[in-house]
Amino acid sequence: MKEKKFPALDDFRLIAAILVVAVHTRSTDSEILWLLTVLRRIAVPFFIMVSGYFLARGNWRATGKFLKKTAMLYGVSILLYLPLNYYAGQLSLDFFRRAIFDGSFYHLWYLPALLLGTPIAYCLTRFKPEAAIPIAGILYLIGLGGESYYGLVSGVPVLATFYNGIFLVFDYTRNGLFYVPLFLLLGAAGIIFRRKVAVIGLLCSFVALIVEALLLHSSGIQRHDSMYLFYPFLMVFLFSLLLEANQGERRNLRQLSAIVYLIHPWCIVLVRGMAKLVGLTGLLVENTVILFLLVLASSLFLSQLLLWLRPSRPFQTGRAWIELDLSTLRHNVNQLQSILTENCTLMPAVKANAYGHGAVLIAKELNHSGIRSFCVATVSEGMELRRGGVKGEILVLGYTHPEQFSSLRKYRLTQTVIDMPYARLLNAYGKKLKVHLKIDTGMHRLGISADQPERIASIFQMKNLAIEGIFTHLCVADEKTVEKKAFTLRQAEAFQRVICNLNDRGLNCGKTHLLSSYGLLRYPELAGDYARVGIALYGVLSNRRDLDDCPIALRPVLSLKARIALTKDLHTGEGAGYGLEYVAESDRKIAVLSIGYADGIPRALSCNHGKVLINGYEAPIIGRICMDQMIVDITDLPDVKSSDIAVIIGKSGQYEITAYDLAEASGTITNELLSRLGSRLNRMIV
Ligand SMILES: *Cc1c(COP(=O)(O)O)cnc(C)c1O
């Protein structure tokens, strides 16, 4: 059951980079070598398609980041190649035009092309998604006219003028306008054909491309040979095969191939220079194969050297970590929005580190989905969100010490008025503070009693309080008995009476809200302006039994995983862990996991009250769970070894362990279980 990972996309990047080196070290004399060049040019479309594929998988949210990174890379590359530009006498005024539209050095055209083509592709997917690929296809066809088919179109005077116009700006039509959008969008489409179809398609388009290239080449109408009609077809089938095979990633190879791409022209110059220096130009440079091999070897060596020298980043999945599936989060948001009444929007509860999920990661993703208001429990949670770049309204639901009122202003947080004396404290701060009023309608926790409309109204006179909302909290919305349902409705009525009373006095309450997860699921019709949804957003309810009458399909966002530190044998009669609580009744094999109760694993799961998943099998927890480790029995599992991954919450093979399983085994609700997941865990998006 163990998965063998084959990161086909990353592996092919290196092949593609080698192909680029081959293109640039070719000699143009022989027909056969020329034909190979045509095939070697699949490298760049592949790079573009991979970028499109990953941008689209992230719903194009990373487009800005991608452009920034590309621009930075291009800036560095321009500097890197300035000496060669100088040497080649290219530092004229025209240099700036070329740097913007064609690339400051011959292989660098790819980067400015991405900078222009990516926004075009992005706009097409945003504003005309169904027409995006056809439009990009038309652009590509126009580009063909300035490339391999130039001789045909330049015979028509209008077209000749048209293309001459283009060539005033661009040197080639293989650029960000005509070339990049199509490949980017084809990659974004991520089409996977049945294997047979893809293989046949690949072969056919391969033959067609060769025929096309030979015909065009022999007819002598080509202006440049980077664009052919059959490239996009070839690429779609090739990409389909790679995508189908793709599993996992090989980050190092990805970076290595990018650096090889960027530096190999320097290596060409260096190899040539060296050859000249030692008087071996004839042997080393004039032989294309030897030149290619020398350049490739030196590029790979230098690139690897750069990777080694680079400062290392902390390894995220070393010990124990949380994986977040953002597509699932978006799914839950959509499901919840589908039951909201008109004018009501989500105000996600991202308190307690977003119920253990990672507050900044979650809130920023919600920002991207258009969500503009959040609630947290404490002022420090609000500050963390702001520091992480979260936009919109952030309501602090709980008590804030007067010493921290300044932080409310500094971080543009909205404070809850938790009772009358607290209202006076806030007002006495002396500077304007944004607040929501909390009304107690029967829970008797925070809030000003709903029976005191006079006093509530008096808060509106406090001149330092900017009252932007009013809310209450339901305390039995999750219960189904007749009495509890009646109680909930009475809470809602009491809240409504307060609002009407204030309105009658001509006071504007701002946003009104009372529903949390269960409130929204059971009483969507009570909604005000916001629904403060917490647990449901993360794809679970508090108790499994409540799933029965849940009107929407929620999916868990979080998986929890840990490394196996080591495995060892336990002989009959030997014990394991604190108190030697576990004693082997027969020879056993055990594994020590690098996660413990300090990471939020309930200690109640000790001694066979829980299990984990390893390589698609179940392994029971034995002995007492420690602060930083726990022990599982792997006797019945095939070849488990150190550094294998154990799944504590999530799927492995055909098994799944849910937050419900852990909560039930430890006598609590999922809310507590999740929100206690510790700060030592790395949190990452998958
Ligand atoms: C935590 C909290 C919520 C969110 O509750 P869920 O049941 O997780 O949806 C809403 N309102 C208040 C006041 C809260 O404290």
Q: Which two tokens stand for residue 650?
A: 């999530």
> DSSP code of 449?
E
> In the prediction, which pLDDT does 4 show?
56
Looking from the CA of 79 toward its CB, the CA atoms found within 13 Å total: 5
The residue-averaged pLDDT of 414-436 equals: 97
* CA of 670 relative to ligand 1 center, distance in Å: 13
Q: Sorting pLDDT into bands at 50, 70 and 90, what band is 2?
A: very low
Whether residue 73 has pLDDT greater than 90: yes
> In the prediction, which pLDDT does 281 show?
81
Whether residue 338 has pLDDT greater than 50: yes
* CA of 447 relative to ligand 1 center, distance in Å: 14
Whether residue 124 has pLDDT greater than 60: yes
Ligand 1 near 174 CB (within 6 A): no
Output the pTM of the full model.
Answer: 0.68
* CA of 351 relative to ligand 1 center, distance in Å: 9
Neighbours of 674 (CB within 10 A): 28
Substitution site in 357, 520, 532 for ligand 1 pocket (most atoms within 8 Å of beta carbon): 532
**What values do phi and psi take at 448, rounded to 5?**
-95, 135
* CA of 515 relative to ligand 1 center, distance in Å: 8
Q: What is the mean pLDDT of the chain?
A: 93
The residue-averaged pLDDT of 152-159 equals: 90
- What is the position in ligand 1's atom list of the atom closest to the CA of 533? 9
Query: What's the pLDDT tens digit per position in 235-274?
Result: 999 999 999 998 877 888 999 999 999 999 999 999 999 9
Q: Sorting pLDDT into bands at 50, 70 and 90, what band is 3?
A: very low
**Between 27 and 673, the higher pLDDT residue:** 673
**What is the enclosing helix (H) or strand (E) of 438?**
strand 433-440
Classify residue 279 as left (phi > 0), alpha (psi -120 to 50) or beta. Answer: left
Q: Are 84 and 105 in contact (CB under 8 A)?
A: yes
Comparing 154-158, 442-446, 514-518, the range with the smallest average pLDDT is: 154-158
Whether residue 32 has pLDDT greater than 80: no
Comparing 185-199, 200-214, 298-312, 568-582, the range with the smallest average pLDDT is: 298-312
Ligand 1 near 534 CB (within 6 A): yes
**What values do phi and psi take at 24, rounded to 5?**
-85, -10
Ligand 1 near 516 CB (within 6 A): yes
Q: Sorting pLDDT into bands at 50, 70 and 90, what band is 33?
A: low
Whether residue 597 has pLDDT greater than 90: yes
Whether residue 285 has pLDDT greater than 80: no
Task: Determine whether 538 is an active site residue.
Answer: no
The residue-averaged pLDDT of 44-70 equals: 92
Substitution site in 336, 397, 542 for ligand 1 pocket (most atoms within 8 Å of beta carbon): 397
The residue-averaged pLDDT of 421-442 equals: 97
Q: Sorting pLDDT into bands at 50, 70 and 90, what band is 1?
A: very low
Residue 641: C-alpha distances to residues 6, 317, 467, 592 (Å)? 20, 16, 59, 10
Task: Determine whether 351 is an active site residue.
Answer: yes
Q: Choose, from 86, 87, 106, 578, the residue flagged as catalytic.
A: 578
* CA of 533 relative to ligand 1 center, distance in Å: 6
Pairing of strands 558-570, 645-652: antiparallel
How far apart (Å, rounded) are the C-alpha atoms in residues 597 and 352? 17
